Copies of this chain bind each other. A is one copy, B any other.
Amino acid sequence: MANDFQYNDDDSKACGGYLPSTSPLDRRSFLAGAAAGAAALALPRWAVAAEGLLAPNPSAAFDDDLSPIRSEIMRRHDETIKRLQTWIRQPSIAAEYRGMNEGCELTMQMLREAGFQQVTKVPTDGQPGIFATLDAGAPKTLGLYFMYDVKQVDPSEWSSPPWDAALVDKSGFGKVVIGRGAVNQKGPEAAFIAALHAIRGSGRKLPVNLILVAEGEEEIGSPHFPQIVRKPEVQQALRRCFGIFMPSATQAGDGQVTMTLGAKGVVELELVSSGEKWGRGPRTDVHSSNKARLDSPAWHLVQALNTLVSADGNDPAIEGFASRARPLSPAEKSMIATAAQRMHEDAVKRSLGVEHWVHDASFQESLEMLMGRPTVNIEGLVGGYTGPGGKTILPHRAVAKIDMRLVPDMTAAEALAALKAHLAKHGFGDIEVNMTGGYDPTSTPADASLIRAQTAVYKRGGIDPVLLPRNAGSWPGYVFTGEPLKLPAGHFGLGHGSGAHAPDEYYVIESSNPKVQGMDGAVFSFVEYLFEVAHTA
C-alpha cells in the first residue's frame, strides 16, 4: 500500500515487516473449502475461479446484490486496462517539471468521465491540484485523496520501458502492467475509477457522494497540498465527509493486508555548516595543510551532529524535540503484540539485511519502537571531496541530510524549532537548518467508522488484516485528520503491486494466486467498499 507515501518507498518495511506467506497446508485447506462451497466466511469474496471469473461470496453484510456490477467490471476489463495504460503513458514528474499540466488535465478528464459533475483545477504556488465532487443524492459523503504525479525514473534500469505500460507475465504473480506509477498510485486509482464506471454501467446509483482532492506534488513532499485542501469551498465540502481514503493496493505478495491507523510525521532537512556562515574556517576549499591553523566547518558539523543523538546513536537528544510525544497506549501495545505474533521476524530481518534491532530488542519491542519512537536519522553526508581516493583539501562546507520522524502529538513546526534552539544553545547556531519537506503525524481512531467499514470488507473477503497503530512512514494525511477537519483517513483497496520509486514498478492485472486480487478484484473491492460505507453507522 504505502507506495503512495512520499516518505515511505517500501511499505512492507515501514509497516513493520512481512507477513507470513500462505503455507501449503493453508492454501490446500482453502481450495478444498472453496470447492465444497462451504465455510463461506473464510472464503475470499473475490476468489478467482479457474476460468478467471469472480466467484462471489454471498455473505454480504448488506442486502444489495452486487453481482450485476461484478459482471459489468468483467465486461469492462479491457477498457479498464486501457485507461490505466493511457494514464501511465503520461508521465507527470514534479521534481522535473515534466508533464504536470498534461497529467492534471488527463486526470480531470478521467474524473469527469467517471461521473464527477464538478471538476476544478486548483492553482497553487507549485503544481496545480484538483477539487472534484460527485453528488449522487446519497445521505453519506466519502472523501478521496488522489495524486497524479509519479517518481523519477532511470529508464536504463527497467526491463520494460517505464512509459510503455506493457502487460508482462511475472513469475508467481500472473499478468502485470509494468510502468512508473503502476502501483504508486495510478493502478489503484484507475481501479477506483473503474468501480464508478461499473456501478453506473450496471444501472446502479452510486451509494455515496464523493469529494475528491488531488495533488501533483506528492512525490516531492506535498509542499502545496495545504493550499488545495484549505480553500474554503474544499474545506466546506470535506466537512461533510464520513472520512477520506486513498485507493491503494494493500495486499502483500501473499495476499495479506496490513492496516495502519495513521502515520508518523516527518521533517526532512539539510544541516549546512560553512565557513561563510560560521565566520571561522575558510570560505572556499583550501589546502588541507591549513587545518593546523584554521577551523574546519566539517568538524563543526560532525560535532553538532554528535549532540543530536544519544551515545549509541539511537535516541534523539535534541532538547524539547519529543516532549509532546505520546507514548503508545495499552491498546496500541496490545495491537502490536498481536501483530508481532502474526509476523515472521526472521523474514523481516532478512529482507532488511539486519541481524540485530537496536539494543538487541525483541521483535515486539522493535515494532513498538518502529511505531512509537521519534527518530533523528542521517539520510546522507556530503562535504568536501567525495570522489574516489582522497584529495587534500580543508572543505569550506559540509552538509548532513537529516530526517526526523514524529509521533503524535509532535508537530513538524515544533520539531524544527526545537532543533534550531538546540543547535543555538550548544554553540552551533551558525549551522543552517534548511527544511526541504515534511508534515505532522496523522492518526485515526481504531473505532472510526471508516476503519470499521474497511475491516468489514476485508474480513468478508476472508482476509483478517493485521492492524497496526501507525505506519512508520509518512503521508500528508494530517491535512485531513488534524484541525479543523479531524476526519478519519486511511488507505484501502485489494490488489497487489510493488516497485514504487524503484525500477520495474508493477501492478497485478490478472493474478495467478487466488489470494491476491488482480485488477477486476481490486475494482470490485472498491465497489464493495462504497456500499459498505453507505451501510456503516
Contacts and interface: CB of A to CB of B under 8 A. Distances in A.
Given A298-B381, A305-B302, A293 B370 contact: yes
A427 B398 CA distance: 25
A157 interface: no
A401 B385 contact: yes
Contact of A352 (B282, B366, B474): B282
Interface in A274-318: 275, 279-284, 286-296, 298-303, 305-306, 309, 311-314
Given A283-B354, A306-B306, A473 B9 contact: no
A357 B313 contact: no
A443 interface: no
Interface in A187-233: 220
Contact of A392 (B293, B382, B394, B403): B403
A288 B403 contact: yes
Which of A288, A357, A385 is most buried by chain B, counting CB atoms within 10 A of its CB? A288
B293 A357 contact: yes
A56 interface: no
Contact of A380 (B10, B366, B391, B474): B391
Interface residues of A, number: 89
Nearest to A220: B389
A384 B392 contact: no
A13 B379 contact: no
A313 to B, nearest CB: 3
A437 interface: yes
What is the total number of copies of this protein in its complex? 2
Interface string A247-282: 000000000000000001010111000010001111
Q: Which of A264, A401, A436 has the most CB of B within 10 A?
A: A401
A370 B353 CA distance: 46
Contacts of A382: 381-383, 386
A331 to B, nearest CB: 20
A152 B370 CA distance: 48
B288 A377 contact: yes
Nearest to A309: B299
A379 B472 contact: no
A363 to B, nearest CB: 9
Contacts of A357: 293-294
Given A279-B356, A287-B13, A353-B286, A403 B381 contact: no
Contacts of A371: 292
A380 B353 contact: no
A403 B290 CA distance: 12
B290 A370 contact: yes
Contacts of A266: 392
A405 interface: yes
A258 B27 CA distance: 83
A287 B14 contact: yes
A291 to B, nearest CB: 4
B401 A286 contact: no
A517 interface: no
21 contacts: A7-B289, A9-B287, A10-B287, A14-B290, A266-B392, A270-B390, A275-B354, A279-B356, A280-B354, A289-B375, A289-B473, A291-B376, A292-B472, A293-B358, A295-B312, A296-B378, A301-B381, A378-B383, A381-B386, A382-B382, A382-B383
Q: Which 9 A-B pairs have the closest CB atoms?
A: A299-B313, A283-B353, A289-B472, A380-B384, A380-B385, A291-B377, A298-B378, A382-B386, A268-B390
